[in-house]
Structure 1
Amino acid sequence: MRLALLGVRGSTPAPGPEFVRYGGHTSCVAVLPDDSDVPRLVLDAGTGLRGLGRLLGAAPFRGSIMLTHLHWDHLQGLPFCPSVDRPDARVDLRLPGGGDPRRLLARVMSPPHFPIDPGGLGGEWRFLTSDDGIVEGYTVRVAEIAHKGGVTHGIRVEGDGVSVAYLPDHCPQIESAAAEKLAWGVDLLLHDGQFLAGEQAQADAYGHATVADAVAFARRCDARRLVLTHHAPGRTDDDLDALGATGVELARQGQIIAVGSG
């Protein structure tokens, strides 16, 4: 299994020359099987989803997109990605939260807030609630984790002999039992690292992790490798270079990670 990191920024996109090396698009990760470069499972649909076409070429996306939650930075790419919004696309959109999934999405994607509602997307769409099971050939588990502002899921994906836990928005210093169970022993933990130690109060207030929180959580979970994502929108390339020099591994937009190596 490989992960194509299409968006690694948190909260809001970060355009400009000082955000080129790590990227400015918000959360989106495509899962690539060992035997193919065509993704059928995508985690989150932030503005990074627009980059899906670089993996698919002229082909439509036919697979599943799983959202960790419904904050803007995790779904704003949906109506702006030609690969999923075309007549020959087939998309199962899976999202957390109670009630009808399509109605939940329509609360943030419909007039007057946006020109179309979910039914205006091209192709064949199904709107489903995220559950444990087999998704596009992968064993997937979800768990509700601590993050402010609505139901948020962590996602565990197993396949090709390896395991990944994806928790881009998580406040492990408040509550982490369910998240620790979900991420226990994974080959790769892709985790929220939006704030620094001196920003602990902000992290707590917004329901995110500091880098130290994420490192401690990874150790408690016995994760084999930790990669920090959901970088703060004001954290420049130079800032992130300085952070990486302390020994933590940082996600970069456009990077493809081979799970189980490194």
Structure 2
Amino acid sequence: MRLHFLGVRGSTPAPGAEFTRWGGHTSCVAVLPDGYAAPPLVLDAGTGIRNLAPVPFRGVIALSHLHWDHVQGLPFSRAVDHPEASVELIVPGAQPLALLTRAFSPPHFPIEPGGLRGAVSVTSSGGSHEYDGFELIQAEVTHKGGITVGTRVECDGVAVVYLPDHAPQLGSAAAEELCRGADLIVHDGQFRPEEQALADDYGHATVTDALAFAERCGARGLLLTHHAPGRTDDQLDAVAKEWPDVRFAREGDVVTV
């Protein structure tokens, strides 16, 4: 399984010369099982989804939650908003289309989700979803401001869990079960340990929170994403150097699991 990181920032995009090496787009990861030339699965639709290729996209987009930094790129992706696109959009919540429409409709946005070109279906997250070549297992996790789910992707004999917005320090038994024995956890690592109060207030994790969580779950690997939008390239270099045994996601990276 290959993970193509199209966006690794949290909260807001980070434009400017100080953010070019690590990348400024918000959360989006394209997943390519072995033997696939094009990704059949995308995790989140932050501004990084503008870089999704090839065009058009045919597959599944699983949203972790509906905060702006995880959905804002959806109508601006040429691969998704295309007459020949075929998209299943998995959205947290019992009424997924209605929830998504609250964010994408006038006066907040010019069109509703139905205004996207191509064939777009909207389904609810949770439980297991089996597809040709991979399986998704989802569970609700601790994060503030609405339902948030973690997604476990199983294919090619490996398991990757995507938890870009998660506060394990607040107690998350469902998330621990979701991550049990995973080969890799892609986890929220937005804050440094001395910023614990901010992490708790916003429902996010510090680097040390994520490390402790991965150890409790018996995961074989940890990769941190959702970097703070004000954290410059030089500052992220310093964070990565401080924890040399932890991988940090960089926009444009392709990680093989």
Cross-structure match for 1:251: 249
1:102 aligns with 2:97: yes
Q: Which runs of 4+ in 1 moved over 2 A?
A: none
1:16 — aligned with what? Answer: 16
CA distance in 2, matches of 1:22, 1:210: 18
Q: Counterpart of 1:253 in structure 2: which amino acid?
A: E
1:196 maps to amino acid: R
User: Are positions 1:88 and 2:84 aligned together?
Assistant: yes
User: For each residue in 1:138-166, what CA deviation from the matched residue of structure 2 results, as whole angstroms up to 9, or x when unmatched?
Assistant: 11100100000000000000001111000
Paired letter, 1:209: A
Q: Distance in 2 between matches of 1:136 and 1:154?
A: 21
Residues of 2 paired with 1:97 and 1:103: CA distance? 9
SS in 1 for 2:146: coil
- Aligned positions of 1:185-224 closer than 5 A: 185-224=181-220
Moved more, 27-36 or 64-73: 27-36
Counterpart of 2:67?
71
TM-score, normalised via structure 1 length? 0.95
CA contact (8 A) 1:41 1:136 kept: no
Paired-residue identity, %: 63
Equivalent residue number for residue 149 of structure 1: 145
For structure 2, the 5+ residue unaligned runs are: none
Cα distance in structure 2, aligned partners of 1:209 and 1:86: 36
Partner residue, 1:26? 26
Post-superposition shift, 1:136?
4.5
Output the CA distance in 2 between the equivalents of 1:180 and 1:72.
26
Shift of 1:23: 0.4
Contact 1:64/1:136 (CA < 8 Å) preserved in 2?
no
TM-score (norm 2): 0.97
Q: CA deviation at 1:104?
A: 0.7
Q: How far apart, in 2, do the equivalents of 1:37 and 1:7 lie?
A: 20
Does 2:158 align with 1:162?
Answer: yes
The question of whether the paired residues in 1 share the 8 Å contact of 2:2 and 2:32 is answered with: yes
Counterpart CA distance in 2 for 1:157 and 1:242 is 31
Q: Is the 8 A contact 2:33 2:133 kept in 1?
A: no
**What residue is the counterpart of 1:127 in the other structure?**
122
Unaligned runs of 5+ in 1: none
When the two chains are superposed, the root-mean-square deviation of aligned CA atoms in Å is 0.8
What amino acid is aligned across from residue 45 of structure 1 in structure 2? A
1:42 is aligned to 2:38: no
Partner SS, residue 107 of structure 1:
helix
